[in-house]
Structure 1
Amino acid sequence: MKPRFAIIAASVFVGAGVAAAPAASSTPATPDIPEVRAAASSTLPCSIEMSIIGAGRYREIRVSDTTSPRTVTDFGEVPGGRSVRSLATGHFHADFGFKLRYHLGNTSTSLFSLSARDDEDSKEITVTSMGRGWGGFRRLVSSGEAVESTSPVSLYGLHDNGSIYRYRVAAGAGGQRVVTGAGSVAGFSDLKTIALIGVTSSYHALLANTTSGQLVVIKIPTTSTMTATRTVIRTRTWQGFEHLAVADCSEGSTNVLVGIDHDTSSAYAYSMAFLKNTTSSILGHGQVAGSWPWLVFTSLHEEGNPPQGA
């Protein structure tokens, strides 16, 4: 049966306690490709899944080998998709012939949730507005998916003003998400992008690159008072990537990293050990096949199995 496509724009609601963000400023980009030790094979230790929005359309991309064609699932047009600035880390459920992906994201003005579902007959996108005042965030990262049966998850936003903000996202009655502020830390104006790389009961870890070329891990304790520590993993040549995506291959001992360079519409793949410091192993698997012209990327993880790579 030929798949049918449906796009559903759900009713608008405002998340409680979502504070308007300060005014935005821009961050320059400097293209470069990291100098790393080459891996023996272009085959990655595990596949990596990513979600993208390009030209207003939502797609899922799966890469298992840098030289083989990637697998792309196109869901179609996203309501308001051409103004999307960032998608937070995605989480998916797959069972009985269907797969459901869930993201938070922001446009130039607002926060929204997006779900993308497909089975053998259809593909469906649902977008729900959650509040205004989010245009200043250039990257969002989520520690998990907020559902009624779990504790609130953390949403982190890298803002143009150089701060990282934390919010708690809880699922209320009928699945309505409630968002409340949970602190911020200044001093990150040199970061280009952030990606989720570690979730434990005591801290959340973000992987980031800087405008000066460093690759760093930022650990944020799950305590009520927000603090953050920065650990340098590599000191130079990582400034060329506008997006980073991470996959956990074996409970943190091995990970896959894909970096996307907007200037050349290209992507590069790496395998990594658990990231502790500058001695942690990173191997380069080379350029990923195909052109990568899309401007909004994020990692996509199975719900309940967050990365543990730092």
Structure 2
Amino acid sequence: MALSAAALLAVGLFPGAADAVTTTTGDASAGKCTMDLGSVTAGGDHRSQRITANSPPTRTNDHVVAPGLFKDPVRLSSSMFTSPDPAGVYVGGHVIMGAKMAYSGYVFAPGRAFDPKSIVREVYSSDYGDIVAFETSRYREGTSARGATYGLRADGVLLRWTSIPGDWQVTGTAPGFASVKSMALISKTRTYDTFLANTRGGALYTIHIPTTSPMKPVVKPVRTRTWQGFEFLIAQKCGKQGTLLLGIDKDTQSAYLYAVGHANGTATVIQGLGKVPGTFNDPAYFRWATATNDPLVGE
């Protein structure tokens, strides 16, 4: 009998977001919130580790999920979504390898060796070599669902894509984001997506993107300095309206954890939880998520 994704998560066999929040306290109170951090190693493995908002933060359950998944170097990855499969759990998401974007999927079978024959790979035809950050938002409300993928070009143009056979189609653009260094999706609703972004100058902003067309992001400052060191921001729901935020500094191969209250401009509460133990030197990091239950309510 196939195990559900929730059951697999409950026994710790596979990473995901369904059990990531174990506290319902105030927005910026981390409690025992956890984040399942994913990465692609230099050897092309899919790796998972759990970050827990203890004091100081702890890192556990560090293991390889899918060895040798990628033969070409991966420089960017969207969130990886898990869903039930007759053989266990299906994992799917998008990566950028050099200038090519690809959809990558595979089956994780608990208790069995990874089967490379389960890999599904679709490489898109366009050139994505100038994309420096991207992420996929999937939102479900009752029986309705929507999805959007966002990419930041090196020239500072923010793109919104929708899927078409064999590639992506641009459905929205917005210039003016050349100073952005990394972005993390912190909120998604029926009518908007919100990113938290840091800049090379050290500022931290929210980028609120309505689902309407034409695409008109609303940018609000959260902090004005000290955030320039992070090449990756990864976010996970924490509490009723808050966010657990991980910042990864590739130069020092270190990571720092923050509890972020409900986004409210410069009044947003941010609590530094400390340095996460371990070395963070993988080429690409991402968030493990579940396709059916993936709440992000940071704004």
TM-score, normalising length: structure 1:
0.77
> Which letter maps to 1:284?
G
Q: Does 1:261 align with 2:255?
A: no
Checking the alignment, whether the CA contact within 8 Å between 1:245 and 1:299 is kept in structure 2 is yes
The TM-score, its normalising length taken from structure 2, stands at 0.79
Q: 2:230 aligns with which of 241, 249, 273?
A: 241
Q: Is contact 1:110–1:135 with CA below 8 Å preserved after alignment?
A: yes
Please, which of 134, 146, 151 is the counterpart of residue 157 of structure 1? 151
CA gap of 1:285–1:156, structure 2 versus 1, over 3 A, is: same
Q: 1:145/1:92 Cα in 2 relative to 1: closer, same or farther (>3 Å)?
A: farther
CA distance in 1, matches of 2:193, 2:156: 19
**Structure 1 position 302 matched with structure 2 position 293:** no
Q: CA deviation at 1:50?
A: 2.0
User: Which ranges of structure 2 fall in alignment gaps of 5 or more residues?
Assistant: 1-28
Question: 2:273 is matched with which residue?
Answer: 285
Residues 152-171 of structure 1: CA deviation (Å, up to 9, x unaligned):
5111001111111110136x
Q: 1:61 aligns with which of 31, 49, 67?
A: 49
3-state SS, counterpart of residue 264 of structure 1: coil
Per the TM alignment, residue 131 of structure 1 is displaced from its structure 2 partner at its CA by 2.4
Residues paired across the two proteins, number? 261
C-alpha distance 152-180 of structure 1, shift in aligned 2 (>3 A): farther
Match of 1:13 in 2: none
Counterpart among 164, 171, 182 of residue 193 in structure 1? 182
Determine the structure 1 residue equivalent to 2:263.
275
Partner of 2:63 in structure 1? Answer: 73
Offset, 1:283: 0.7
Alignment match, 1:37: none
1: distance between equivalents of 2:256 and 2:98? 28
CA shift at 1:59, angstroms?
A: 1.2
Contact 1:89 1:195 in 2 (8 A): no
Contact 2:51 2:57 in 1 (8 A): no
Identity %: 26
Aligned-partner SS, 1:223 = coil
1:172-198: CA deviations, max 9, x gaps?
Answer: xxxx76632102111000000111111
Do the aligned partners of 1:44 and 1:271 also contact (CA within 8 Å) in 2? no
Q: Deviations over 1:103-122 (max 9, x none)?
A: 11212221101224322213
Q: Deviations over 1:95-148 (max 9, x none)?
A: 8883333211212221101224322213244432122311110111100289xx
2:95 partner SS: strand
- Quote the residue 1:108 is aligned against: 98
Provide the alpha-carbon RMSD of the alignment: 2.6
CA drift at 1:79: 3.1
Distance 1:177 1:132, change over 3 A: closer
Partners of 2:186 and 2:258 in 1: CA distance: 14
| 1:91 maps to which of 76, 81, 84 | 81
Equivalent residue letter for 1:303: A
The alpha-carbon deviation at position 306 of structure 1 amounts to: 3.3
Alpha-carbon distance in 2 for matches of 1:111, 1:269: 29
Aligned 8 A contact 1:273 1:280 in 2: yes
Contact 1:86/1:297 (8 A) holds in 2: yes
Pair 1:229 & 2:218 matched = yes
